[in-house]
C-alpha cells in the first residue's frame, strides 16, 4: 500500500501559497527581472481575521498593491464571508499587515548576473525531480509520468475546487483535503483501496435532517462519493471496491478555513511535489521568483526526469541537483533509476548533463520562467499538469529533440 494526500485551494496553507504566488506574478508583470520572496500567514478569529505578508521584493518600477492582491486572491478562492472562516473583502473584518523589504545586497550581488555563467544560485540547497510510468496505463492519466496515488489525490481536490467555484453544491465550502491509498501487486499499482475526503460544509446543513448529525454525515458521504470521488477517479481504479471516509470526526461545519487552522506559505511541500513517493530537498516553491533554485531547479529536475522516463530509458527516475549560493554550476547532479534503467545511472547522468543545463539563468531561459505564470501552480500540484500556450507548466512539456538527444 502507498498513500498520498492533497489539499484544496481553500485550505489555510494553500490560501497563503496562492497569495504569495499572486504577488510573484504581479511583480513579474511590473518587471520580469523582479526578485521576490514573500511569505503569507492567515488566521481567523471570532471578531475578525488577519493576513500577514512578509518578505523581500526588489523590482524596477512601482510596487504592486500587495494588500489588494492578498484580499482579491483570498476572495477569489471563496473567502468573502466571515461566517465561513474569513471575509477578505472587508476592511473591518480582515486586517492586512505588510512587512516587505528589499532583497539583501549580499544576496543580490550573486544572483543578478545577466548570463548563465554570472548568475549564481540564490541560496545553497538540494532539489529533487521525479517521474515514473505509474499513470501511463490509464487513458485519463496518460502523459503525466507521475505516482498514481498523488495523481488521484490531486484530481479529488481539484474537483472540490471546481465544485466550490461553480456553486454546483452550494453547501460545500473552500476548505478541503483528500488522501488516496493505492494497493500494489508485484511492484505495480493495482487498485485504490481507501479514499479519505474532508470538506467543510454549511453549519445549517443538518437542519435538513431534523438536526441529525448521523443523517447529515450519510448525506455528505453519498454526495462526495458521487460528485467528487467517482467523478475524479477513473473507474478502473475503483473496480475492486474501496473504503471511503468523509469528515472522519463526523462534521466539518462552518467556520473553517483560517478560523479553524492558521495557514502559512510553504507548509505543503510534499503535497506540492510527488506525494511522498520520492525524496524532497525541503524548500518550498510558492512565493519565490525563478531565480530561487528551490523553485526553478526543482522544476528543471522534474523536466529532465520526465524526459528520461518518456524516452523509455527507465520506469522510475529521481534526479537530485545541489547548489552553493552565488555559483552558477551545481555542486552535484545525481540520477537514480531505482534499478529500472536501461542504461547505468552513471551513463544516464552523463546524458542528462549534456541535454539539460542546470545553471539557474539557463533554467529560467529554457523554461521561460520570467512570465507571471505561478499562481496557477499554487493549488492542485506543481507537477503532472498540462502545459499551456500561455507558458504555464512548461516543465511538463516533452520535447522530441531532447528525447532524441537522450537516446543518441
Q: Which residue(s) pair with 335 in the sheet?
A: 319
- From the list 392, 318, 323, the residue with the least C-alpha distance to 25 is 392
- From the list 299, 303, 368, 293, the residue with the least C-alpha distance to 331 is 293
**Which is it for the CA torsion 152, 157, 161, 166, positive or negative?**
positive
Asked if omega into 255 is within 30° of 0 (cis), the reply is: yes
Pairing of strands 316-323, 48-58: unpaired
Q: Is 13 a catalytic residue?
A: yes
Out of 136, 261, 327, 357, the active site residue is 261
Q: Is 14 a catalytic residue?
A: yes
Residues with Cβ within 8 Å of residue 381, at least 6 apart in sequence: 6, 150, 154, 271, 272, 273
Q: Is 357 a catalytic residue?
A: no
- From the list 234, 10, 9, 16, the residue with the least C-alpha distance to 135 is 234
Cell numbers representing residue 230 in the block: 467517482
Out of 5, 8, 13, 396, the active site residue is 13
Out of 71, 144, 177, 206, the active site residue is 177
Out of 5, 17, 21, 39, the active site residue is 39
Q: Is 39 a catalytic residue?
A: yes
Q: Is 204 a catalytic residue?
A: no
Distance CA 197, CA 224 (A): 8
Distance CA 112, CA 336 (A): 32
Distance CA 282, CA 266 (A): 10
Out of 134, 294, 318, 396, the active site residue is 294
Q: Is 267 a catalytic residue?
A: yes
Q: Is 354 a catalytic residue?
A: no
Out of 159, 206, 268, 295, the active site residue is 268
Out of 158, 201, 206, 292, the active site residue is 292
Cβ atoms of 55 and 37 within 8 Å: the answer is yes
Cβ atoms of 121 and 326 within 8 Å: the answer is yes
Q: Is 342 a catalytic residue?
A: no
Q: Is 43 a catalytic residue?
A: no
Cβ atoms of 156 and 228 within 8 Å: the answer is yes
Distance CA 8, CA 347 (A): 40
Q: Estimate to the nearest angstrom the gap between the alpha carbon of 8 and the chain centroid.
A: 10
Out of 35, 158, 159, 267, the active site residue is 267
Cell numbers representing residue 110 in the block: 550573486
Out of 14, 173, 351, 385, the active site residue is 14
Out of 54, 75, 203, 262, the active site residue is 262
Distance CA 8, CA 16 (A): 12
Out of 11, 295, 302, 307, the active site residue is 11
Q: Is 393 a catalytic residue?
A: no
Angle at Cα 248 formed by Cα 245 and Cα 254, nearest 5°? 120
| Residues acting as catalytic residues | 11, 13-14, 39, 56, 177, 252, 261-262, 267-268, 288, 292, 294
Amino acid at each position: 500500500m502507498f498513500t498520498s494526500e492533497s489539499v484544496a485551494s481553500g485550505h489555510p496553507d494553500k490560501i497563503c501559497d496562492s497569495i504569495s504566488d499572486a504577488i510573484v506574478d504581479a511583480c513579474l508583470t511590473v518587471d520580469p527581472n523582479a526578485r521576490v520572496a514573500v511569505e503569507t500567514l492567515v488566521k481567523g478569529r471570532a471578531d475578525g481575521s488577519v493576513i500577514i505578508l512578509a518578505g523581500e521584493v526588489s523590482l524596477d518600477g512601482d510596487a504592486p498593491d500587495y494588500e489588494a492582491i492578498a484580499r482579491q486572491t483570498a476572495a477569489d478562492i471563496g473567502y468573502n464571508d466571515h461566517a465561513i472562516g474569513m471575509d477578505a473583502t472587508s476592511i473591518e473584518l480582515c486586517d492586512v499587515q505588510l512587512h516587505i523589504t528589499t532583497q539583501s545586497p549580499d544576496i543580490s550581488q550573486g544572483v543578478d548576473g545577466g548570463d548563465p555563467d554570472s548568475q549564481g544560485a540564490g541560496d545553497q540547497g538540494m532539489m529533487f525531480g521525479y517521474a515514473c510510468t505509474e499513470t501511463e496505463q490509464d487513458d485519463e492519466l496518460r502523459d503525466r509520468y507521475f505516482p498514481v496515488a498523488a495523481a488521484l489525490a490531486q484530481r479529488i481536490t481539484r474537483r472540490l475546487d471546481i465544485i466550490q467555484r461553480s456553486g454546483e453544491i452550494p453547501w460545500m465550502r473552500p476548505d478541503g483535503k483528500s488522501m488516496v491509498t493505492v494497493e500494489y501487486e508485484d511492484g505495480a499499482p493495482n487498485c485504490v483501496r481507501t479514499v479519505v475526503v474532508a470538506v467543510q460544509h454549511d453549519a445549517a446543513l443538518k437542519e435538513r435532517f431534523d438536526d441529525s448529525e448521523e443523517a447529515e454525515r450519510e448525506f455528505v458521504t453519498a454526495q462526495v462519493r458521487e460528485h467528487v470521488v467517482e467523478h475524479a477517479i477513473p473507474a478502473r481504479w475503483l473496480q475492486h471496491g474501496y473504503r471511503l471516509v468523509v469528515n472522519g470526526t463526523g462534521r466539518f461545519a462552518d467556520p473553517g478555513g483560517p478560523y479553524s487552522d492558521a495557514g502559512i506559505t510553504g507548509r505543503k511541500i510534499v503535497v506540492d511535489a510527488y506525494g511522498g513517493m520520492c525524496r524532497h530537498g525541503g524548500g518550498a516553491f510558492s512565493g519565490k521568483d525563478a531565480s530561487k533554485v528551490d523553485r526553478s531547479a526543482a522544476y528543471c529536475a522534474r523536466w529532465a526526469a520526465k524526459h528520461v522516463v518518456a524516452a523509455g530509458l527507465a520506469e522510475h527516475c529521481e534526479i537530485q541537483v545541489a547548489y552553493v549560493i552565488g555559483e552558477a554550476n551545481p555542486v552535484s547532479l545525481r540520477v537514480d533509476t531505482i534499478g529500472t534503467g536501461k542504461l547505468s545511472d552513471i551513463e544516464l547522468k552523463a546524458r542528462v548533463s549534456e541535454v539539460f543545463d542546470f545553471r539557474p539563468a539557463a533554467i529560467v531561459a529554457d523554461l521561460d520562467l520570467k512570465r507571471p505564470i505561478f499562481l496557477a501552480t499554487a493549488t492542485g500540484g506543481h507537477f503532472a499538469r498540462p502545459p499551456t500556450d500561455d507558458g504555464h507548466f512548461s516543465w511538463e512539456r516533452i520535447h522530441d529533440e531532447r528525447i532524441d538527444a537522450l537516446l543518441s
